[in-house]
Chains A and B, each alone.
Chain A
Amino acid sequence: MTKLRIFNALQGGFRLHLAAAALAGLAATACSSSSPPATTTVADGQGTGTDVKVTGDAGDTAAVTVTGTVGLVVDANRDGTADPANADDLKYGNTFDTTHGAVFLANVDDDNKDKARDCDNDTVDGDPDLLDLARAQVVAWPTAPDGTKATIKLDAMGAQNVRIFLHNTTDETWTAVAGELGACTGADDCIVTKSFDIPVELLRTGVELGIEGKRFRIDSTAADWDGSLKLTLGITDAAGKVVVGANTAADGLVKVVLHVAPWVLNGNLSPFDQVRSANYYGEFVADMKTALAAATLTYKTYNGWDDQWTQDFFQTAWTGMPGKDGKYQWMRIANARPWGRDQKGGDKDLPYYWLTKNYLGPDAGIIAIYLQPWSGSSYDSHGNHDLLPPYTNGTDNFPLGRIIHGSGILDETAAFYDAQLVQGPALEVNTSWLLVGHVDEIASYVPAKTDRGWKLLMASGKLCKTMYEQWVKDGNGDVKYWTGLKNYDPKTNAEKNAEITIAGTLADPDLMQWSQEAQTFVDGDHDQIATAVGLTEQEIIYIPFFTEDIADGGKKDDKIAWNPGTVNSLVTYNHMMIPNPFGPVINGKDVMAQDLLDRLGTAVNGLGSDGKGLQVHFVNDWAGYHVAEGEVHCASNPEGPPPTQTLWWQIKR
């Protein structure tokens, strides 16, 4: 039996070789010949993609060598097109490294606005959706004889995670031909199709394929999908003979591979363009409106959803594949937390449902990576999941930043982060000592005009105590603050005056002991972050506030910011929306606010892209958020496009 091999990747240009070799006794489906057949050049041509010849006739056992751009081409050179005339697309089709290799998107947005993700049906959802399909090109073979049959096979794991559409140029339609076919809402309406044929008529003209991913890579274990789609093209003639050629895989088939683009988490230095929060607390909304206008960011508020903790119930990220003109073809991604606020509405109270109604749209995708709805805990709120900005420390290199999270997150979430490969392995720090347990309660990150480009903000009870002691030393111990602000008071089930003096604060042995213990926990997290990143002391800005421990009856430590937790701020590059500290007013100035302005908003610490300081905006979050166990960062959620300075595929994975 003859097996034909097709060259799809040519070395030394586009020379075409037709050769014949005897391959007696090889099985059609499992050629494992370790020595390639002898070849003889019988025709030459220049690589136009059309001058392909096949020799040999029915019954002949001699293999036929075909040279030229016959085969299957993907966008291996990452220029946004799968081009049979491009040497790199041809040469690197079966490669994936930092310079070459094809990519496809998890098509989780909703370009036709039908409130269903585009990957959740087996149709192409309009022209915008076409942009989200990676392309492969079956190269035209104009002289393909009648009876020639081309078959493309998908690897088993890849087939379960993608969908392939075939482009019909006569009516400009796209038909799903492989991968998961059907609505795939469950096992009963989903057929995994692992191969499809290209009719000879389409083989002669060439045919374009569109590829969408149905999901991101979710795990790094060998048993799970590695994020790749391996495609194999085989062509047989009418007699069932297989074309064989040089420079193909040993089994004579054309092999290409594509990888699903990773999910990439946003961080404080991302190029945000909009921020969301609940329309929950008027003072907060008004301050945010002013601040975000100054930052020239769009501000969106929502009503009718019982969750004012916008940072926590979803997480913003992006994904992108190489587009044309050196730009990403990308979409935003919101990742839903596994639990909602109330279960009265059943699963309609899950964040995923809210995202479906309020976030999903063109170039705005949504995902849920949890295994069970209503699983997880406060640790799985996304205030506990953040991103260290880009850094290099020795051999560690994180050009797109490194995911940092606190204690106790769901295993599948940790696995998902690491499976993306470009922002991991994630760094876990201890947040179990906090009542809420979120990493954004103790650390944040701001741009700086330094070699690293950013500095770390860390909570500091120690600095806070030093400041209070200085105020006492200056004779201001009796100064009252928080005058007019309210705390909860069970007698009215409402609020109680929170007023206190500077000296009275320092004389509270419980508050001081709790704050000191919190400082030791923060010191531990500081040690870990500073070591991982290689931070010097000059690269850390301490943010002062005290901490209390408020006993929830569940675990041993339940610490939470006593003053407004000012490290828990929204940072949108040069702008910082920071909780109003409502500090003591001495000589007409809020001295806590002034301290923050001095150290964050001036050149003293070289912050901001120009080193002249951040634009600091104080936001009143007291009654809506601070007394309810959170702050500005918990209350807001920014998003934006991918950064342009680093392409994820250039990161060694």
Chain B
Amino acid sequence: MGINTVLGRLAGQMCIVAAVTVGWASHAVAAEDHGLVLTARQLPAGTADHLRALVDASRKQYPGTFQALGQVKGCTRVGYQNNRNPKPVCYHEFHGLGVEGVPAMLDALLLHDPTALYSTDVEKRAVIAGLLRAVGVARDVRAGDLLQLIFATPGVVDVAQAEAAQALGRLARDTDVSLLIAHSSPSDPLHAAAVEGLGECKQVRAAEQLAKLTTQVSTSAQRAWVARSLGHVASSWGWQALVRSGKATEAQGRQVSEIAAKALVPMYAQADPAVRTAVLQALRMAEYAQSAQLIESARAGKDAATVAAYADLAQKVAYSMR
């Protein structure tokens, strides 16, 4: 059973989704609705109404959740300035809401900006990042289409696009993955976010797309970014977790690991410190069993400096796989 199948079944069991689906597309968009990253006007016809229905149902069931969103400690000045490292971070609080808090978080992102108590742009960015990270980690299909909107709507703040892309990668419905792939072209304005999202997507086709991108990207930063995401998508620990919970198979994990390693090793020939660091880290995450052989093959015919660099790479990868 694939991860998407499992998630789909989970979603199907969510009574709230079932309840609110009936009411989708029946309300007019209220002009005053304004979330943290989009306004209701920016939502396609019917989507805002659908979301309102979901939110209304949830508000009745979990009223405290909605009230709490506007004043989490991690993003209110007195909370982070005095007792934490003085920058706002509120993922912990939002994550603590669990799946039941997803409608409230979507409401905050898309309908009702809860951040009157958050005074600075830095605080608002942290709220957005925390909300979207928490929504993404919840892997709640109710959020899927809205996450796609946040990701793909022009003009959305960059942190929202990046976190929405990751959330889509985690959710990994077919349309989510297709959207990320579609925007992963190096010339696409959403390239970086899409690449990041594909890194969170534990699917073979996400890994294949990232591998393809290693030969398409042109700048050092892009190469390093793609390499990093290859490490994410191939994370052996992440795959093991999915296997443990029955959401993926070991064979899938091995396949992705191989795809990633085969794409990463040739990148190391480029004498670019940032790329080499990213490749090393990614290979350490992929833990591909035949990494040593791949590296040995890649050394053939290279100049002495590159051969030495590959030798160093082999040693370091072996250390992490000890």
Interface residues of A (CB under 8 A from B): 306-309, 339, 341-342, 378, 381, 435-436, 462, 465, 487-493, 496, 503, 506-513, 515-517, 519-521, 523-524, 527, 550-554, 558, 627-630
Contact = CB atoms under 8 A, between A and B. Distances in A.
Contacts of B71: 490, 493
A512 B92 contact: no
A516 B235 contact: yes
Interface of B: 62, 64-65, 67-69, 71-74, 81-94, 96-97, 122, 125-130, 132-133, 137, 159, 163, 170, 202, 231-232, 235-242, 244-245, 247, 277, 280-281, 284-285, 316, 319-320
Given A491-B97, A553-B159, A517 B73 contact: no
9 smallest beta-carbon distances between A and B, as pairs: A553-B129, A553-B125, A513-B238, A490-B68, A512-B237, A516-B237, A551-B133, A520-B281, A509-B241
Contacts of B73: 488, 490, 493
A552 B88 contact: yes
Contacts of A306: 82-83
B231 A552 contact: no
Nearest to B88: A552
Nearest to B3: A509
A513 B244 CA distance: 14
A493 B202 contact: no
Nearest to A435: B89
Given A493-B73, A552-B87, A520 B284 contact: yes
A552 B89 contact: yes
Given A491-B97, A492-B68, A628 B245 contact: no
Given A553-B126, A553-B129, A488 B65 contact: no
B241 A308 contact: no
A512 B238 contact: yes
Contacts of A490: 65, 68-69, 71-73, 90, 93-94, 96-97
A463 to B, nearest CB: 11
Given A487-B96, A517-B285, A551 B82 contact: no
B161 to A, nearest CB: 12
Contacts, number: 158
A554 B247 CA distance: 32
A515 B87 CA distance: 22
Given A436-B85, A490-B94, A554 B235 contact: no
A475 to B, nearest CB: 15
B283 to A, nearest CB: 9
Nearest to B78: A342
Given A507-B244, A513-B232, A515-B237, A520 B93 contact: no
Nearest to A436: B85
13 contacts: A306-B83, A378-B87, A487-B92, A490-B72, A492-B68, A503-B244, A506-B241, A511-B241, A513-B235, A516-B236, A517-B232, A523-B316, A628-B83
- Considering residues A489, A512, A524, A628, which has the most beta carbons from chain B within 10 angstroms of its beta carbon? A489
B94 A512 contact: no
Contacts of A492: 64, 68
Contacts of A523: 284, 316, 319-320
Contact of B92 (A488, A503, A527): A488
Contacts of A436: 85
Contacts of B202: 509
Nearest to B158: A553
A551 B163 contact: yes
A378 B86 contact: yes
Contacts of A307: 82
B316 A496 contact: no
Contacts of A550: 89, 91-92, 130, 133
A7 to B, nearest CB: 58
Contacts of B159: 553
Nearest to A498: B96
A493 B96 contact: no
Given A516-B236, A516-B285, A496 B96 contact: yes
Given A493-B71, A523-B316, A509 B242 contact: yes
Contacts of A519: 284, 320
Given A462-B320, A492-B68, A503-B244, 9 more contacts: A341-B86, A378-B86, A489-B97, A509-B239, A516-B237, A517-B231, A550-B130, A553-B159, A629-B89
B96 A488 contact: yes
B89 A308 contact: no
B73 to A, nearest CB: 6
A512 B235 contact: yes
Contacts of A309: 85
- Considering residues A342, A496, A516, which has the most beta carbons from chain B within 10 angstroms of its beta carbon? A516
B273 to A, nearest CB: 12
Contact of B245 (A507, A551, A553, A554): A507
Nearest to B93: A490
Nearest to B282: A520
A552 B72 contact: no
Contact of A489 (B82, B96, B284): B96
B22 to A, nearest CB: 28
A551 B85 contact: no
A554 B126 contact: yes
Contacts of A509: 202, 238-239, 241-242, 245, 247
Contacts of B86: 339, 341, 378
B85 A507 contact: no
Contacts of B96: 487-490, 496
- Considering residues A341, A342, A465, A509, which has the most beta carbons from chain B within 10 angstroms of its beta carbon? A509
Contacts of B316: 523, 527
